Amino acid sequence: MIEFQDVAYSYGGGELLTGIDLSLPQGSFHFLTGPSGAGKTTFLKLCYGELVPSSGRIELFGRDVRGMSRDDIAWLRRRVGVVHQDCQFLDHLPLEENVALPLTVAGRDAGAEAADLKELLAWVGLSKQRGSLPPELSGGERQRAALARAIIMAPEVIVADEPTGNVDWEMSLRLLQLLVELHRMGKTILIATHDINLIRAAKQQTQARVLRIRNRQVQLAGADL
């Protein structure tokens, strides 16, 4: 579903990532690790077409990102759900409307899909908060709301950038369980994280593999985690 062929990405006059050759097949579960500033967020953005490589080739769902039009990118965003690190919401809209925003942007009638939205909020444990404004939510509630928003369009791939970075361990495990359940539904999962314990917890439930950024390259880590 996502394939890199000798990919490099430069930023600010220097090469941030280089020589990347890897494939993320359908239904796979990967973690991405590496020190702060190594390029984890950049790599994720390359995976969903937010950035294009400085050199090399990236294919998303069999299509070269360099040749994608604006309509193609819109099509791509419906197939890849992204949980951003900063979890931004529109503070004047209640939670359920924030979660439903991708439907509105895609021109779909959120009202007609109210039952699905209600079921989704129940699945992430936010039924009671559906009318709450984002500033009223806890960190864990915001992260679960961000996940719900990312998957409301039923994407095939879920990309999450440090989804447990600002929550306690109990909430981290709860978020992980939701992602594991999505994986069991056949979704492809890619999570950037610093949390080795989270990776170890996932490995007890899935065949998760670990990608590590080292020396500007993204490589498959060994089985030592």
Q: Tokens 């065949």 identify what position?
A: 207
The number of folded domains in the chain is 2
Q: DSSP readout, 157-218?
A: EEEEESTTTTS-HHHHHHHHHHHHHHHHTT-EEEEE-S-HHHHHHHHTTS--EEEEEETTEE
Instruction: Assess whether 113 and 169 both reside in one domain.
Output: no
Question: Which token pair is 15?
Answer: 């090469």
- Quote the pLDDT of residue 105: 82
Instruction: Assess whether 53 and 159 both reside in one domain.
Output: yes
Instruction: Assess whether 193 and 101 both reside in one domain.
Output: no
Fill in the DSSP letter of residue 137: S
Q: How far apart (Å, rounded) are the C-alpha atoms in residues 65 and 59?
A: 6
Instruction: Assess whether 138 and 29 both reside in one domain.
Output: no
> Per the domain annotation, does 225 fall within a domain?
no
Domain that holds residue 9: 2-79+155-220
- Quote the pLDDT of residue 75: 87
- Quote the pLDDT of residue 74: 84
Instruction: Assess whether 30 and 62 both reside in one domain.
Output: yes
> Per the domain annotation, does 85 fall within a domain?
no
> Per the domain annotation, does 159 fall within a domain?
yes
Last residue of a domain, one of 106, 130, 150: 150
Instruction: Assess whether 21 and 131 both reside in one domain.
Output: no
- Quote the pLDDT of residue 4: 97
pLDDT along the chain (225 residues), means of 10: 95 90 95 92 95 95 91 88 91 95 83 86 95 95 95 95 90 94 96 94 93 93 64
Q: How far apart (Å, rounded) are the C-alpha atoms in residues 21 and 159?
A: 19
* CATH code, 160: 3.40.50.300
- Quote the pLDDT of residue 221: 84
Instruction: Assess whether 139 and 200 both reside in one domain.
Output: no
> Cβ neighbours of residue 120 under 8 Å, at least 6 residues apart?
99, 148, 151, 152
Distance of CA 91 to the CA centre of its chain: 22
